Structure 1
Amino acid sequence: MENAKISGSIPLSIRKLVVRDVNNGQTHREVAKHYEISKTAVSKIMKKMKTFGSVVDRPGRERKPKTDARTDMKIIREVEKNPKITIRQIQEELQLSVSRRTVRRRIQAKEYHSKIAVRRPFISQVNKAKRLNTPINRSNTGKQCCGPTNPNSNCSTGRSGIACGASRVRSHKTTISLIKTGLEARFVFQQDNDPKHTAKLTKSFFRSCHIKALEWLPQSPDLNPIENVWAILDARIYKTGVTNKNTYVDALERAWEELDQQHSHNLVESMPKRLQEVLKAKGGHTHY
């Protein structure tokens, strides 16, 4: 370890000059002061010169690998036989005494990359039945207007429709926005069962504005296209590197204004496919 410290901090040319000056009669203190290194470093350099006859780094002094080439080959062979095998299973199969991190490094060295399986969301049997028997699946609402409530967006989808997931009634600006769009007269408003959406204040707001709210299903984010919009906003805000609330709000407003209308339209058009997948999965989860 001492050799590594010397070679890592002091160049070989300086080490040779240190040996020369000490042999010429200068003290360790004088040499250390001249080359701006510690007195201890000078002592280690001279000790190395006396022990090995050179201050050059000795070859083969790095840490040896914990597995040999044969073991590495066996690890890769197990991965190729079963790509879904876990590192723990490889350890048990080959009776390896090395850590899981070491096994992972050997796999990655051959450009194989381990992945953790995505855990499917749990949906209870009761909620599966509700998802199958929902009025959304039984009725034909025609075109659906799903997405952010934005006065600047052109969302003329007919006389009936569903406005999905745009309830942010905690702000006065949003209240005015909702009223200006005329949603209370033309649309059935949709939002999930988040506590702030089901709060008394929120329900009172909808009643006072005569906005009809759609009764939403539990455990059904896959039927709510606005979730895809939130994911886009989160990704864009993360890239800005915001550090406080004020900059976060500004970044959120900019990201909101920059949303692609075509992408919002595609989310709207995906609603029939989402409903079909729910029926196909018998109320279970979908890839959305």
Structure 2
Amino acid sequence: MVKSREWSRKTREEVITLHRKGNGYKKIAKMLNLPRETIGSIIRKFKAKGNGYKKIAKMLNIPRETIGSIIRKFKAKGTVETLPGRGRKKMLTSTAVRYLKRRVEKSPRVTAEELRKDLSDVGTEVSAQTIRRTLRNEGLHARSPRRTPLLSPKNKKSRLQYAKSHVDKPQKFWDSVLWTDETKLELIGPMDQRYVWRRKNKAYEEKNTLPAVKHGGGSIMLWGCFASAGTGKLQRVQGTMNSLQYQEILDDNVMQSVTNLRLGRRWTFQQDNDPKHTSKSTRAWLQIKGWNILEWPSQSPDLNPIENLWWDLKKAVAVRKPKNVTELEAFAHDEWAKIPVDRCKTLVSSYASRLKAVITVKGCCTKIECHLGVE
């Protein structure tokens, strides 16, 4: 219990003033050296019938005004804990927030400044920074858009039709497909790290810069193939590839890869719709070969699992930091051969999920494609 001489240091008027200034019981109790147990005792005695403010004050030797403020708060709020304040009034009403959300979801490229002007036209004056903060609180963040192929309505329709007609194919069919494609490897390319940790005004220190070399510092074009059983042949394309060179590459590598990967007789050849692949001479050449060709929708790198292997290859080669084109090619062959069979098998076994993703988005670009980017 608090002794009466302790209360003599604080006059009754001071206690009332502290309460009127918004001080909760914890703060007043601390200032007056009032233990929490005493607060509990006040509430218990108040709940007991026949105990008024004056009687409780006399029993506990505490000023009646303090007893009254504690009990009145308990009666009004159901607690004597310090409740959070209302805080500053929000600049934007819930209606304005809903408008901002609808606007950016409909037009993701709209800027915060444009949104500020829209609100200003209807009498709501806020800063662009307030709008950005509000949208972030709603889970909407400004981010760089992902690069994806430009899909025409015809492309979307073709992609959707392909996905629907192949989604029910058995896994055995996909395991017998030889996936092929070309890619470009650069000495200094997009796989290099683009972010550095640095201090202010240190942007141009050599360790914080990325050297820019004209024409990328050298690059090579590669043709490769793989199947569920592992990676197949990888060959460098000399110069600019035309239909004739493409046919020569296929002649040198495809059947050898089919044999090495044990795809059997009923295997399927996959290629995209690059003009060199679909030219009149290439179609005639493929017809003579008698290979079973997988129909392919245009603008569909997300449907070719070899794109994932190109991504793996570029990361692995970049880590080895080739100094010239010769090393670049040698490292590429080394890393291609190191790609685990399990990685290839997983990519092919999950192919049905790619088709389902295309169906879900009605032929539009999928998340897989956005992740890989567009070469």
Query: How far 1:279 sits from its partner (Å)?
Result: 0.9
- Displacement of 1:94 in angstroms is 5.8
- Indicate the residue corresponding to 2:259 in structure 1: 180
Q: What is the letter of the counterpart of residue 259 of structure 2?
A: K
The answer to whether structure 1 residue 258 and structure 2 residue 335 are counterparts is no
Question: In the TM superposition, what is the alpha-carbon distance from 1:282 to its structure 2 partner?
Answer: 0.9
User: What's the CA shift for 1:138?
Assistant: 1.6
Deviation at 1:121, TM superposition (A): 3.9
Decide whether the 8 Å contact of 1:164 with 1:225 is kept in 2. Answer: no
Q: How many pairs are equivalent?
A: 184
Structure 1 residues 168-177 or 262-271, which shifts more?
168-177
The residue matched to 1:274 in structure 2 has which SS?
helix
Equivalent position SS for 2:265: helix
Structure 1 Cα separation of the partners of residues 287 and 257 of structure 2: 13
**Residues 136-161 of structure 1, C-alpha deviations (whole Å, 9 max, x = no match):** 5224431112557469x847xxxxxx
Query: Please, which of 229, 238, 244 is the counterpart of residue 309 of structure 2?
Result: 229
Structure 1 stretches lacking a partner, 5+ long: 1-80, 97-112, 156-162
Gaps of 5+ in 2: 1-96, 105-109, 118-125, 130-140, 181-224, 236-245, 369-375
Partner of 1:192: 272
The CA deviation at 1:269 is 1.6
Aligned-pair CA distance for 1:240: 1.9
CA distance in 2, matches of 1:220, 1:195: 15
Aligned residue among 307, 318, 328 for 1:238: 318
After superposition, the Cα gap between the structure-2 partners of 1:177 and 1:150, relative to the gap in structure 1 and judged at 3 Å, is farther
Q: Is the 8 A contact 1:189 1:212 kept in 2?
A: yes
Other-structure match for 2:158:
130
- Highest Rg: 1 or 2? 2
TM-score by length of 2: 0.40
The CA deviation at 1:273 is 0.7
Q: Which secondary structure state, in structure 2, belongs to the residue aligned with residue 282 of structure 1?
A: coil
Q: From the two aligned structures, give the one with the greater strand fraction.
A: 2
Judged with a 3 Å threshold, the aligned counterparts in structure 2 of structure 1 residues 243 and 282 are, in CA distance, closer, same or farther, namely same
For residues 231 and 197 of structure 1, what CA distance do their matches in structure 2 show? 22
| TM-score normalised by structure 1 residue count | 0.50
Which range moved further: 255-264 or 138-147?
138-147
> What is the alpha-carbon root mean square deviation over aligned residues?
4.1
Structure 1 counterpart of 2:348 = 268
Classify the secondary structure of the residue corresponding to 1:192: coil
Letter in 2 for 1:236: A
Q: Does structure 1 residue 141 correspond to structure 2 residue 220?
A: no
CA-to-aligned-CA distance 1:8-67 (integer Å, 9 cap, x gap): xxxxxxxxxxxxxxxxxxxxxxxxxxxxxxxxxxxxxxxxxxxxxxxxxxxxxxxxxxxx
Distance 1:127 1:95, change over 3 A: closer
Higher relative contact order (CA 8 A, sep 6+): 2
Percent of residue pairs bearing the same amino acid type: 28
Cα 1:267–1:132 change in 2 (3 A) is same
Please report how far the alpha carbon of residue 238 of structure 1 lies from its aligned counterpart in structure 2 after TM superposition: 1.8
Equivalent residue letter for 1:237:
V
Task: Measure, in 1, the Cα distance between the counterparts of 2:254 and 2:233.
Answer: 14
